[in-house]
Amino acid sequence: MSADATFPERCVLAAIDVSGYAASVAAHAGWAAARLSAPLELMHAIDREAGPVPIDLTGNLNLGAQEGLLEQMALLDEQRGKLAQQRGRALLEEAGNVAAAHGAKASIRQRQGRLVETLLDLQDDVRLFVLGKRGEHADFARGHLGSNLERVIRAVERPVLVAPRAWRPVQRFMIAFDGSATTRRCVELVAASPLLKGLHCEVLMVADADKVDAEPMQWAQAELQAAGFASVMRAVPGAAEDVIAAQVAAQSIDLLVMGAYGHSRIRNLVVGSTTSHIVRTCPIAVLLLR
């Protein structure tokens, strides 16, 4: 499988907002674009519907007062729109500087509309999406993923790199593997793409050692070895979310690779509880593949 077959020549697109994750998203996007030798776009979506909802007082006002109120509201809405564009522009320019420091010069764009619909409109030209784990309105909700992130992951058909709050250089990565068709596809995608070439690779299967089917692990090791990875294979018993978190910490992993859907002990990723828990609690970047 060639890299061109895996990822067509498309851009890395990072969704930038005013949350505390913006700098990390830009850093991860710059790193990924440089590794992929792909163009980088930083995009800020202005959702006008997410702004303050006007209070309807027209039933209590006479006609002249209603007209004056509507005129003031229109002016305020116009001012809010201009301020949102100015803030978005400044945010994108700052993110562009961060991305450049991590190896990729970015083009920037602002779009009107909701984030999920905007990304779906753009995804034909996208190779990889980069988003923060939580967005503007979920900064301090450590027990929850950003609602936009969950919707994006469910909706888009491209890989999604989920950035944590802080950037850390990616030197060691781990693939969560259960032998299913989905996680085999993850191995194939990693092997075919330049994104993780030359980095330390670990493959983790959550299973009791005496119950591990050797064939999937041997297949994964051979596939990665053929692509130039000297991978470390591990089988560890326990609950998937606990084992993965513990191994990420124990092996000093910088990036976790998981499939968008799966079964066995790594089941229904994103829409299922295991991956929701892992993405929510894992302090490192998570790459979700299809």
Domain extent listing, the chain: 10-50+84-163, 172-289
Give me the pLDDT at residue 219, please. Answer: 96
- Please, which pLDDT band fits residue 166 given cuts at 50, 70 and 90? very high
Tokens of 159: 């890989």
pLDDT of residue 106: 96
Query: Residue 5: its pLDDT value, please?
Result: 42
Under a CB-based contact definition with an 8 Å cutoff, are residues 225 and 191 in contact? Answer: no
Beta pairing, strands 255-259 & 285-289: parallel
Mean pLDDT of the 38-62 span: 69
What is the pLDDT, as a whole number, of residue 151? 84
This prediction's pTM: 0.82
Residue 211: pLDDT above 90? Answer: no
CATH class of 10-50+84-163: alpha beta
Q: At residue 144, what are phi and psi to the nearest 5 degrees?
A: -135, 150
Mean pLDDT, residues 160-180 taken together: 95
Classify 172-289 by CATH class.
alpha beta
Residue 94 has what pLDDT? 96
Q: What is the per-residue pLDDT for 73?
A: 72
Model confidence band, residue 231 (pLDDT cutoffs 50, 70, 90): very high
Please list, in sequence order, all residues whose beta carbon lies within 8 angstroms of the beta carbon of residue 123, skipping any fewer than 6 positions away.
Answer: 129, 156, 157, 158
Average pLDDT over residues 251-264: 78
pLDDT of 267 higher than 50: no
- What crossing angle do the helices spanning 273-281 and 240-250 adopt, rounded to 10°? 30
Same CATH fold, 172-289 and 10-50+84-163?
yes
Q: What is the mean pLDDT of the chain?
A: 83
